[in-house]
Amino acid sequence: MSAEPLGAGFTVAITVNGPGEVATWAAPVVAELARSFPEARVGLFLLPCRFAAGTEADVLRHAMPDLTVFTPAQSRPYITHGQAPEGWRPTARGVVLFLGGEPLLARLLARRLGYPCWGFVAKTDRPSRYFDVSLLEAEIGHPIVDGQRSFAADLTGSPQRLVFFPGSRPQHANLAVQVYRGVIEALGRHELPADLQLRVARSPFLDLDRVSEDARRFVLEHEASPEELLHIRLAVAIPGSMTVELGARGVPFVLVLPIILRYARHFHFPGLAGILGNLPLIGPPIKMLIIRGIRQRHALMALPNQRAGRQIAPEVAGRVTPEDIADTVAELLADPPRLATIAAELQAAMGPPGAPGRIVARLREYAQAGVAA
């Protein structure tokens, strides 16, 4: 009789939450599982998240049609009450792999399945108490470095392309578009390269039916084609996981976050801060105090800058205007050597490739140890 394939009786149940974790953590690992551990049974559980875009399941099913994906509405009843979603048939042995979401829910899912709970731990070298095995970024690297290259830098070609990234969540996109319109208007007062093109990179997670009419029109008028996104001279982005992707691809960018009262309604917070921030009249000033407090605690907002411990990509944040942002953008476009330095240093800050392969190799070793036993 032929031996049973290594992973035929082994399940990897992955937890994840919002667009950033789906794109930068889960997608590269799922792709590596399909490549080097195809025998394993893989199920991806989207966990409830206030900051989710709501489109994560559709994006995953479109990009990976063979992947079993469960929505938050399916995941939570299973984790808390054992109501198994249709199509879920876990094996006796396996691992719950946390790649985003609430760690406690991942732990409860592991208990439900009788599996150990493994977790990817970013931005710290300390294991998490929620996980039986902590996969530390400091040891294995970041999965995004191996992610799909949907955009790339082009620092010498023509035309030069300035690309605005409005984010994946409707409320953030609404804010970003207001700011970006002001930036584009202010750029008109600068002497810019004659071949400069202005484009918008629309996130696959952004549902245009849920944004303002102004944001929808702005995105559709300037939306970049997939080919254009492979030739970016400079990007403009808001805080979030997109800065990780830009850094990993060596795309120079400017991070923008104007903290001024007229933009307050676009900021949303969980818990008590969210309740107070949504109060009539006094809510917007409260939001400004919260944001400024966060800004004071986090001198660097872009994730690659945080990793490097210094400002590689310029950050224009705080009491700033679209004119301030335009000044920085124009200055960078006029300085190709500085753009090249930023690109190289961003990639160096994100570290070497290979994290998904190292994670999957650990899973294979664990599965093999069980077979040998």
The Cα–Cα gap between 338 and 65 comes to: 42
Residue 13 has pLDDT above 50, yes or no: yes
Instruction: List alpha helices for 249-350, DSSP H.
Output: 271-277, 283-297, 303-308, 322-333, 336-350
- Separation of CA 295 from chain center: 20
Nearest in space to 186 (alpha carbons), one of 331, 327, 319, 335: 327
pLDDT digits (tens, 9 = 90+) for 26-35: 999 999 999 9
| pLDDT of amino acid 370 | 64
Q: Write the single-letter amino acid at 105.
A: L
pTM for this entry:
0.85
Q: Do domains 10-141+354-372 and 161-350 have the same CATH topology?
A: yes
Structural contact between residues 186 and 258, judged by C-beta atoms closer than 8 angstroms = no
Angle between helices 72-81 and 103-113 in degrees, nearest 10: 60
* Strand-strand pairing, 41-46 and 68-70: parallel
Q: Model confidence at 373, in pLDDT bands (50, 70, 90)?
A: very low
| pLDDT of amino acid 287 | 63
C-alpha torsion angle, residues 67, 96, 125, 19 (rounded to 10): 40
At 79 the three-state DSSP class reads helix
The Cα–Cα gap between 291 and 276 comes to: 13
Residue 273 has pLDDT above 90, yes or no: no
Q: Count CB atoms within 10 A of the CB of residue 82.
A: 8
Domain range list for the chain: 10-141+354-372, 161-350
The Cα–Cα gap between 297 and 272 comes to: 19
What's the CATH code, domain 10-141+354-372?
3.40.50.2000
pLDDT digits (tens, 9 = 90+) for 124-173: 778 889 999 999 988 999 998 888 778 899 999 899 999 999 999 888 89
R_g over Cα of the chain = 22
Instruction: Answer yes or no: CATH 3.40.50 is held by domain 161-350.
Output: yes
Backbone angles phi, psi at 234, to 5 degrees: -155, 140
Backbone angles phi, psi at 112, to 5 degrees: -60, -40
